[in-house]
């Protein structure tokens, strides 16, 4: 049994309370390897932004949960080395799918867990989420629940179509379960293909796909029912066109990849949305830099020479999100 406080991590309680009050959102970045983690910590330390490190089920399978946990512990010390005296770093389980998994993360030092019962019948989602909250709260670990279904693919989480969160359920769900934050579905989506071309319109000038807008009316109704309650948006990568273009230019094949426009996320960040999940954009930034290096320097075979530029490109992307989209810079001085 390891308590996250002994690792220098924080839960999401203060982070979210400040974010809701301050009209910004805390970035939740997924990590699977050292370069991603370094880029996240460098960006957060440089901007003094609170940050949530997310570990998905796929990341646990890929990199090993124990190793990732120790990497997060190392990240706190690394952040201090970078001159961030009081790092505000949360280690969060993304899309936990069982009580046992959430418990094991709590027991090994995670400071926050998500229990995703959104695919279950409502009453079962309530019961499972409540059970996780009861255990996690004994250890001061915060819990994120989910209502509504996001479309798209993210590791093992997959759904054909989205179902918006029903505002009439949110009061009942949060009061019965005791969750600390609620992930909702208002039109964001997992992956780099968030919308099918037929769901979009085309910009007549550029020929690029323009995705449908998020359901801000649903968000407003939820906010009215739960004033000040921390809301979470999953699947909120923007799928930057320049990264997609670089990937395609250097041999990749990502036709019609489309994400959530940043101005919509900016608007969401100013509302009760206080955690915005970004994963695909990091994958794209990494892949673009690696492809470009391979194409331009075919004789290179030192992994540091292509993972280094990939790390630089991810850091640039993370800083851009923090400063220009979420507004969380300077909030963890």
Q: Which residue has the tokens 């054909």?
A: 160
Alpha helices by DSSP H, 23-93: 34-47, 57-63, 65-81
Cα distance between residue 200 and residue 172, in whole Å:
34
At closest approach, how far in Å is the CB of 280 from Zn ion?
10
Is 94 considered catalytic here?
yes
Count Cβ atoms below 10 Å from residue 205 Cβ, excluding itself: 6
Identify the sign of the CA torsion 51, 326, 188, 205.
negative
Contact indicator for 213, 264 with CB cutoff of 8 Å: yes
Contact indicator for 183, 145 with CB cutoff of 8 Å: yes
Radius of gyration of the chain (CA): 19
Q: Footprint of Zn ion on residues 202-241 (CB under 5 A)?
A: 234
Q: Footprint of Zn ion on residues 92-131 (CB under 5 A)?
A: none
At closest approach, how far in Å is the CB of 183 from Zn ion?
7
Cα distance between residue 235 and residue 258, in whole Å:
12
Q: By C-beta, is 7 or 182 nearer to Zn ion?
A: 182
Cα distance between residue 274 and residue 231, in whole Å:
6
Count Cβ atoms below 10 Å from residue 277 Cβ, excluding itself: 27
Cα distance between residue 187 and residue 283, in whole Å:
21
Token readout for 324 is: 């220009």
Cα distance between residue 217 and residue 200, in whole Å:
19
Closest residue (Cβ) to Zn ion?
Answer: 234
At closest approach, how far in Å is the CB of 14 from Zn ion?
23
At closest approach, how far in Å is the CB of 251 from Zn ion?
29
Catalytic residue among 94, 180, 279, 281: 94
At closest approach, how far in Å is the CB of 154 from Zn ion?
5
Give how many residues touch Zn ion by CB under 5 A: 1
How far, in whole angstroms, is CA 61 from its chain's centroid?
18
At closest approach, how far in Å is the CB of 83 from Zn ion?
32
Q: Which residues bind Zn ion (CB under 5 A)?
A: 234
Residues labelled catalytic:
94
């Amino acid at each position: 049994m390891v308590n996250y406080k002994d690792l220098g991590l924080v839960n999401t309680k203060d982070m979210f309370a400040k974010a809701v009050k301050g009209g910004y959102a805390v970035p939740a970045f997924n990590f699977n390897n050292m370069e991603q983690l370094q880029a996240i910590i460098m960006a957060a330390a440089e901007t003094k932004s609170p940050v949530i490190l997310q570990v998905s089920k796929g990341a646990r399978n890929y990199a090993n949960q124990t190793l990732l946990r120790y990497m997060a512990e190392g990240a706190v010390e690394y952040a201090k080395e970078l001159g961030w005296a009081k790092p505000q770093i949360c280690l969060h389980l993304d899309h936990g799918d069982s009580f046992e998994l959430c418990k094991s993360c709590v027991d090994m030092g995670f400071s926050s867990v998500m229990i995703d019962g959104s695919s279950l019948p409502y009453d079962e989602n309530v019961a499972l989420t409540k059970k996780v909250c009861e255990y996690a709260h004994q250890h001061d670990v915060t819990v994120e629940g989910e209502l509504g279904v996001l479309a798209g693919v993210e590791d093992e989480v997959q759904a054909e179509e989205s179902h918006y969160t029903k505002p009439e359920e949110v009061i009942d769900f949060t009061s019965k379960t005791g969750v600390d934050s609620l992930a909702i579905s208002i039109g964001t989506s997992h992956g780099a293909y968030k919308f099918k071309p037929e769901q979009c319109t085309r910009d007549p000038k550029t020929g690029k796909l323009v995705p449908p807008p998020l359901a801000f009316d649903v968000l407003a109704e939820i906010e009215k029912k739960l004033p000040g309650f921390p809301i979470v948006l999953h699947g909120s990568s923007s799928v930057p066109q320049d990264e997609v273009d670089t990937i395609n230019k250097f041999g990749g094949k990502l036709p019609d990849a489309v994400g959530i426009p940043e101005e919509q996320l900016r608007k969401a960040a100013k509302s009760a949305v206080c955690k915005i999940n970004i994963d695909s954009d990091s994958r794209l930034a990494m892949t673009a830099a690696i492809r470009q290096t391979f194409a331009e320097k075919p004789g290179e075979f030192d992994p540091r020479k292509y993972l280094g530029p990939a790390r630089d490109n991810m850091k640039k992307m993370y800083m851009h999100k923090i400063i220009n989209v979420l507004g969380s810079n300077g909030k963890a001085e």
